[in-house]
Amino acid sequence: MALANHDSVVVLDFGAQYSQLIARRVRECGVYSQIVPFNTPADEIRKMNVKGIIFSGGPASVKTEGSPRPDEKIFTLGVPVLGICYGLQVMSLMLGGTVDCPEKKEYGLANINIEKASALLKGVAQNSQVWMSHGDSVSAMAPGFTLVANTPNCPYTVVEDAQRKFYGVQFHPEVVHSLDGTRMIRNFVLDICGCRADWNMGSFINDAIEDIRKTVGDKRVLCGLSGGVDSSVAAVLIHKAIGDQLVCVFVNNGMLRKNEAENVLELFGKNFSMNLHYADAEKDFLDALKGVTEPEAKRKIIGKLFVDTFYSEARKCGEISFLAQGTLYPDVIESRSAFGGPSSTIKSHHNVGGLPEDLKWQLLEPLKELFKDEVRALGKELGLPDELVNRHPFPGPGLGVRCIGEVTKERLDTLRDVDAIFIEEIRRAGLYDKIWQALADLLPVKSVGVQGDERTYREVCTLRAVTSEDAMTADWYRMPYDVMQRCASRICNEVKGVNRVLYDITSKPPGTIEWE
């Protein structure tokens, strides 16, 4: 990405669970940020021409032999440094201070007592609430540092060396529980580092178009379009850059939601006038899945057949030089270890993997600098409808893993109708954007019902809605009773194959978000 025109701040990752959140908070200030392993050489950081460095927290103790340390030359680069939690401790230790493990540790909320004015705490209220999570803490400041703020259990909660522009906080300003945390990060990034707040989706589009054109030249790019957020935004961005040099392949595997194939063809083929190749492979997938009920077997069959179908269709598209993928920044971060180095591994459930040997394509990943929320903002900027941009996550195998048991055309059509009613009702109630993911499953279980004047013996469906930050953990959404009642009533009245509706209240863990 053409980032030379933008100021940036780098986050050194010491293994913290909040490293991505720190980078996102910096970007919310309008400044580009990226995450690099803690042991990235100072010379490499110098070449990145950053205006500030943030040391993340981390799970290790600085007192443990072999605990992570940054390149000591980082402190000679002449750029401001902010150490957070473990980052404060390791900076203090390396610059001549001491760190101990006191008897009283701090986990949870605390209030800081501000002892002196500091550029880092400009506009922060006395006794401001912060989020603590530490065992070790600084017991003696490094030479040149002065005390800024403390708490009853932490004598050196905020410290600074204003001359060298080194700052440290023992709490986590990046989390929402630290009420003035965003202001502190903003003070560091904009005032102390002097960064320009010019990182936004408008500037990203201009940079991305320039990069795509420079990379692609007069060659052609292939994109697997699924109708999901990432592939849709990537396709529209690339199309904006190179027009008909982009060739999109849309595979209908028969596992799509109600009217989804028609909607994709309408939006991208007609509205955006893309060069779109449509492969209706529903029969092939259903034939391959006949009699299969084991979840992992279904996933493998759907995944392999999709790849085969995609490449078969791609071979009809003429000479192709690049394969576009909707890889996001978290995918890039997860593909390398914070304590190791970069990896070329791409998560197979996010992207089309396994290039056949006769297809010598280069990867084009225009979204690899962005977090999911930024991709959604980019999609809006590019003119994609809100209904698509804000869409809940949808599994690669589609309804094939929500049709529990054997997958048949009849059962999929039943599930499509159930899913459509559920989504329609939560949208109507204004709840869709409050929910991380809403889904319906059709169970291989039948129950007796009374519908009209006759007894029925039909299948059971379950509705599920969860809240989450990153899908690693999730809690069930407390759906209002009146919404559940409308969903159940409509499903039993309008969907011929279902006579009983359940609502799943299992959290993750112990359950998963999807049933299969």
Any idea which residues carry the catalytic annotation?
Answer: 85, 172, 174
As a whole number of angstroms, the distance between CA 72 and CA 91 comes to 9
Total number of residues shown for the chain: 516
C-alpha angle 89-131-180 in degrees, rounded to nearest 5: 105
Planar angle of CA 412, 415, 416, nearest 5 degrees:
85
CA distances from 342 to 1, 46, 107, 371, 440 (A): 18, 19, 33, 19, 38
CB 325 within 8 A of CB 234: yes
Distance CA 381, CA 378 (A): 5
The answer to whether 131 and 109 have CB atoms below 8 angstroms apart is yes
Per the CB < 8 A criterion, the answer to whether 49 and 78 are in contact is: no
Between CA 139 and CA 472, with CA 176 as vertex, the angle to 5 degrees is 100
d(CA 140, CA 81): 19
**Count of other CB atoms within 10 angstroms of residue 86:** 27
Q: Omega of the bond prior to 330 within 30 degrees of 0, cis?
A: no
